[in-house]
Structure 1
Amino acid sequence: MTQSRLQFLQRSKASKEIMKSIKNTLLCTALVLAFGVPALAATDLPSGKSKSTGREFKRSAPETIAPRFDDQEYKELTVQVVYQVLLAEVALKRGKAEFASQAYADLAVRTRDPAILARATEVAGYARRYDLILDLARLWLQVEPASKRAQQVLVGVMIMSNQFDGLAPQLIQMLEADKEALPGNLLALNRMFARSQDRQAVLQLIIKVCAPFLDRPEAHYAIAVAASAAGDHTRALVETRRAIELRPDWEAVALLEAQLIAQKSSTEAIASLQRFVEHHPQAREVQLYLARALVGEKRYGEAKAQFERLLLANPNNPDVVFPVAILALQENDRTLAETQLKHLVTLDIPDKSAAYFYLGQLAEEGKRADEALAAYRQVGQGEHYLPAQIRSAGILNNQGKLDEARRQLRDAAAQNPSSRVQLSIAEAALLRDAKQTETALALLDQELGTQPEQPELLYESALLAEKLGRLEIMESRLRKLLELQPENAQAYNALGYAFADRNIRLPEARQLIEKALQLAPNDPFILDSMAWVLYRQSDLEGALALLQRALALRSDPEIAAHTGEVLWMLGRKDEAQRTLREAHKKDPANEVLKEAIRRFLP
């Protein structure tokens, strides 16, 4: 066979059609997605006539593994090409990707056939031979310079292997080739380099790639995103503002600018959003972001007003309705909150549990027990399920249905084993409130039998033991808890306060509570405990200072009772009586407070 005849066979149409019938999924999917070029499907493969055989053909789908030849096509191919293709495909099918990739690479280099080069790069991808893909893709572009797929493969493997040198011209060429998709492709640039750790290198590359397109706002946006990722705050802001100049109503750029400004000043970021909304009152996404930013800064009144404006334009948008309801709760506007939550559960949203939970709370606070129970029953699995079950049990207990309340908690524990500890503790709390402290402790002891080192069970059972006067049990469990959690401030505090309350082991009590204060210096209950130690040690002024600080942090009836007692002992009886009366109005059922009132109020 002559050399010219062999070259003809290597370039033959039959060869190309056969190779293009092989599985043809593009290796570099990230790049394809970025530029919107879909992988070939069976319907994308055109039919026609083979120039070498004159026969009708229809290209097979990408799932085809091995090429199929008819008699005429065999005549148009060398035996070696056919043999090597079949050998590589059989090897690939048997999991020998490395052998297959090497066989195809050898064949591609010898034939320089675009179809074989395409298949060779794909098989090299299965073998993770990115070095081979790079060489093959470069050869493919030499043979077929206009091939978009060859460009995509080359760019994709360069990105995957972080070889940025020489990449910019290839990307620019691809961007220029599709003017219609240019804006979207510019915006997709940063996604292509999401896995790269060298953010500075990515920034420099994107600056080069965007240089021919700086009349487009998307180019400046792409540079801004890359600059922000690279920590170049100044460049990011400059590029963002250039993008806004070119496209003043672009919400995405306004949001990016606010995010960049917020790194230095949340107040200035909010101001920038407010200016944008003032000029573009229909910018819903920016309005939503602004409202949430106001919430983040605890500017609840302004946030509520912003959400209410959004609500007028978007009355059925859950992203607006729910925040309005939560802000109304924050502002203690129960009527608005309940109205919006009831509307929210009529909308098509995937999970209504949060809405039903808050509706249950509102009904419970409004003394509408049956309505609250009905709402809590609608709360499904998730973060609100456990508190809904516990609150439901509390309502039943208040109705005198302790057995039913306990049964509900036990049923919930059976269905949710991961929440068994919390539900058991809740059941013990019901029993304690019902003056069945012995039964409550027995319940937690039973749970500790299967989980002897469970921290919450140790803590709660220790408190119950203390209430029953079983100090040895209390102390042993709290000591065990401190072995497991040496930084548990509440355990130190509970043990120290138990001693101080009984006026025993005061130096040790003080040491324990001082340790608790080191761990949680602004905890009002630990401050109260420390004050009680000082009171027992006759430091009344020191005790009062700590109690007043604790009461300012939290209006708690027991802290108020202790404050009243210390004031009384200091001879400031009018202040003591006033403190106790004010606390009694808020918590008339508290036992510690009632005892203080019995002792100090006439």
Structure 2
Amino acid sequence: MNKYFSLLAISIIVSGCQALAPDTQFPIDDTVAPDSTQTHAPVNDTANFSPETLVSLLTAEIAGQRDRFDIASDNYSQQAQLTADPGVAERAFRIAEYLGEEQRALDSAILWANAAPNDLEAQRSAAIQLAQAERYDEAMQYMEKVLLQNGDTQFDFLALSAAQSDPKTRAALLQSFDRLLVKRPNNPQLVFSKAILLHQDDRSQEALQLLERLPKKHATVTTILLRARLLSQLNRGAEALPVLSDALKQYPNENRLRITYARQLIELDRLEEARAEFLELLQQSPSDDDLRFSLALINMDLGAWLEAQVYLEELIIRGSHSDAAHYNLGQVLEKLQETEQALNAYNSVQSGANYLAAQQRVIALLLSNEQLSEATTHFELQRMVQADLAIQLYLIETEGLANYDHTETAWLRINQGLKQYPAEPSLLYTRAMIADKRNDLTQLEDDLRQIIDNDPNNAMALNALGYTLADRTERLEEARQLIEQAHQLEPNDAAITDSLGWVYFRLGDLDSAERLLREAYNGLPDAEIAAHLGEVLWFQGKRTEARRIWNQALKNQPNDATLLDTMQRLTQ
């Protein structure tokens, strides 16, 4: 279900937070309107400014009116340092922030906060600038002043800024939050912020317990979303549903909650209910094409092909998610057995992650309909149009041809590719696999050896050569050395572990073979691995278990040639 979205990313949790500071628009206004939680210090009476300062500030204002914000910033920053006037410092901060001058914005914000200790906006601005500069301890000191005066805080911003910092920094911040929570135990931002840092330290259970202790009347949308996320990550997603459902009753128009609720339903494979939620969301936000795309995918998972087609065609008409929409429309049309329309949809995918996947479907559809010349012509054209993807297109075409038993055409095509890209390892590897189909073990070994000579740690080539030698020759000791080298490089690769088990079987070490093949099968219950494990068990006299493993694999992969050959060879 992760193709829809990642569940409850922190960005969605805090996406509704208020802006950190009022936007600054130029020409520069004479004042910044205060809000109910702050008392802005006015610019000092001009009688207290020296003539030089007055000229500098006037020059700055005129420069700002004429879009020379560099001059305005220089002058205001300089005069803020000289006068320590809170109004001048604030103006210097606003201009520097607008221009993206990070260091100057930080310096000016600190000047402003120190000159106006009762101005909560000044304290907040200094805290945020310090957090952005990764000076978290100092940021906490300024934000604490806002908390103690019952102002609106941004502790969540500080915590999120520090979440990726080093463990020592996070530990110090956790101590600060603990100290403040003694004074304000039910402050939702403090609770949320501490939970974020606990989660980042892989202490998700503690973070969840902290959020669950927060009285319901103090819970906010952000704390509820984080609680639901933690429940899901702790494999308790079913418990997140009533939490989100209750929150929706309290905040019926909060789309972040409804989206999260719908996504949780998808995680729990309750697709019909999820579809209903997304339908309601789309009705509320008919221009939201992300919702429209999610509905298309949900309908595809439900097998509601016509409904999915409607949403995908809407996206195409609207020019949104075009390549992904065309690709998925191709899949839908295949299910509806509309082959020509499916081909048109796939051919409309022009770029992006879906382009190569679409080309794989194109060659499969053409070859399954015995349109060999159309397939080869199509890929010649695609390599001209998408020259930067020529290697990948050679691979897709060649592998498609080989899969549909056009082995000799595949052989011609892969050799054409290697003339153009003579040392490309992926092309060499594919030619080796086609050589295997042609029973040309000499060519297979030459190509794999060339890859290994150029890249001695290429585990895939080492394994392929070792397995071929183990399965098709009597060069078993050489095969074992190659596969063991691959296994050392990729000890958790089930295919390599399978090869190692198979070579030990060929060497007559049935106990080692069984151990390795069981490990491989547990990691990847593939039909070929099942065939190998079953054969080892068969020769050990464990024939009932061997049949059970074969039959289980046969249900999932009924046409696997290795499995069918093994069963026929040993049971008849």
Displacement of 1:487 in angstroms is: 4.5
Displacement of 1:37 in angstroms is: 2.5
Q: Root-mean-square deviation (CA), in Å?
A: 5.6
Structure-2 change in CA distance of 1:309 and 1:365 (3 Å):
closer
Structure with higher Rg: it is 1
Does the 8 Å CA contact 1:531/1:542 hold for their aligned counterparts?
A: yes
Q: Counterpart in 2 of 1:266?
A: 235
Q: Secondary structure at the match of 1:381?
A: coil
Q: Secondary structure at the match of 1:266?
A: coil
Q: Counterpart in 2 of 1:37?
A: 22
* Letter paired with 1:420: A
Does the 8 Å CA contact 1:216/1:246 hold for their aligned counterparts?
A: no
One of 415, 424, 435 as aligned partner of 2:385: 415
Alignment of 1:186-201 (within 5 A): 186=153, 188-192=154-158, 194-196=160-162, 197=165, 198-201=169-172
2:495 counterpart of 1:495: no
One of 211, 214, 217 as aligned partner of 1:240: 211
Does the 8 Å CA contact 1:227/1:233 hold for their aligned counterparts?
A: yes
User: How far apart, in 1, do the equivalents of 2:225 and 2:206 lie?
Assistant: 16
User: How far apart, in 1, do the equivalents of 2:47 and 2:364 lie?
Assistant: 87
User: How far apart, in 2, do the equivalents of 1:209 and 1:458 lie?
Assistant: 63
TM-score by length of 2: 0.66
Report Cα offsets for 1:430-459 as digits up to 9, x if no partner: 444566545533433443345444321121
One of 357, 361, 365 as aligned partner of 1:391: 361
2:312 counterpart of 1:345: yes
User: How far apart, in 2, do the equivalents of 1:563 and 1:153 lie?
Assistant: 68
* Letter paired with 2:22: V
2:122 counterpart of 1:137: no
Structure-2 change in CA distance of 1:377 and 1:222 (3 Å):
same
User: How far apart, in 2, do the equivalents of 1:167 and 1:452 lie?
Assistant: 63
Structure-2 change in CA distance of 1:358 and 1:548 (3 Å):
farther
Displacement of 1:599 in angstroms is: 7.8
2:480 counterpart of 1:510: yes
Q: Counterpart in 2 of 1:56?
A: none
One of 457, 471, 484 as aligned partner of 2:427: 457
2:422 counterpart of 1:447: no
User: How far apart, in 2, do the equivalents of 1:33 and 1:386 lie?
Assistant: 42
Alignment of 1:81-160 (within 5 A): 81=53, 104=79, 108=83, 128=103, 133=108, 136-137=111-112, 140-141=115-116, 160=133
User: How far apart, in 2, do the equivalents of 1:594 and 1:224 lie?
Assistant: 54
Structure-2 change in CA distance of 1:170 and 1:405 (3 Å):
same
* Letter paired with 2:146: L
Q: Secondary structure at the match of 1:39?
A: coil
Alignment of 1:423-438 (within 5 A): 423-432=393-402, 437-438=407-408
Q: Secondary structure at the match of 2:353?
A: coil
Q: Counterpart in 1 of 2:271?
A: 304
Displacement of 1:373 in angstroms is: 1.8
User: How far apart, in 2, do the equivalents of 1:214 and 1:208 lie?
Assistant: 10
User: How far apart, in 1, do the equivalents of 2:175 and 2:555 lie?
Assistant: 68
User: How far apart, in 1, do the equivalents of 2:193 and 2:241 lie?
Assistant: 24
Alignment of 1:289-300 (within 5 A): 289=260, 292-293=263-264, 300=269
User: How far apart, in 1, do the equivalents of 2:519 and 2:550 lie?
Assistant: 14
* Letter paired with 1:475: E
Alignment of 1:481-492 (within 5 A): 481-492=451-462
Structure-2 change in CA distance of 1:166 and 1:492 (3 Å):
closer
Report Cα offsets for 1:26-53 as digits up to 9, x if no partner: xxxxxx974443325549548xxxxxxx
* Letter paired with 1:104: Q
Report Cα offsets for 1:191-212 as digits up to 9, x if no partner: 2565454335545656777888
* Letter paired with 1:246: K
Report Cα offsets for 1:399-424 as digits up to 9, x if no partner: 22212112222333333334322210
Structure-2 change in CA distance of 1:105 and 1:291 (3 Å):
closer
TM-score by length of 1: 0.64
User: How far apart, in 1, do the equivalents of 2:123 and 2:556 lie?
Assistant: 78
Unaligned runs of 5+ residues in structure 1 are 1-31, 47-73, 177-184
User: How far apart, in 2, do the equivalents of 1:571 and 1:206 lie?
Assistant: 61
User: How far apart, in 2, do the equivalents of 1:424 and 1:387 lie?
Assistant: 13
One of 356, 360, 374 as aligned partner of 2:344: 374
* Letter paired with 2:157: R
The higher-RCO structure (CA 8 Å, 6+ apart) is 2
Percent of residue pairs bearing the same amino acid type: 25
Displacement of 1:351 in angstroms is: 0.9
Unaligned runs of 5+ residues in structure 2 are 1-16, 32-45
User: How far apart, in 2, do the equivalents of 1:536 and 1:165 lie?
Assistant: 67
Q: Counterpart in 2 of 1:360?
A: 330
* Letter paired with 1:400: E
Displacement of 1:266 in angstroms is: 2.0
Does the 8 Å CA contact 1:513/1:529 hold for their aligned counterparts?
A: yes
One of 474, 478, 485 as aligned partner of 2:444: 474
* Letter paired with 1:240: L
* Letter paired with 1:344: Y
User: How far apart, in 1, do the equivalents of 2:245 and 2:89 lie?
Assistant: 57
2:370 counterpart of 1:400: yes
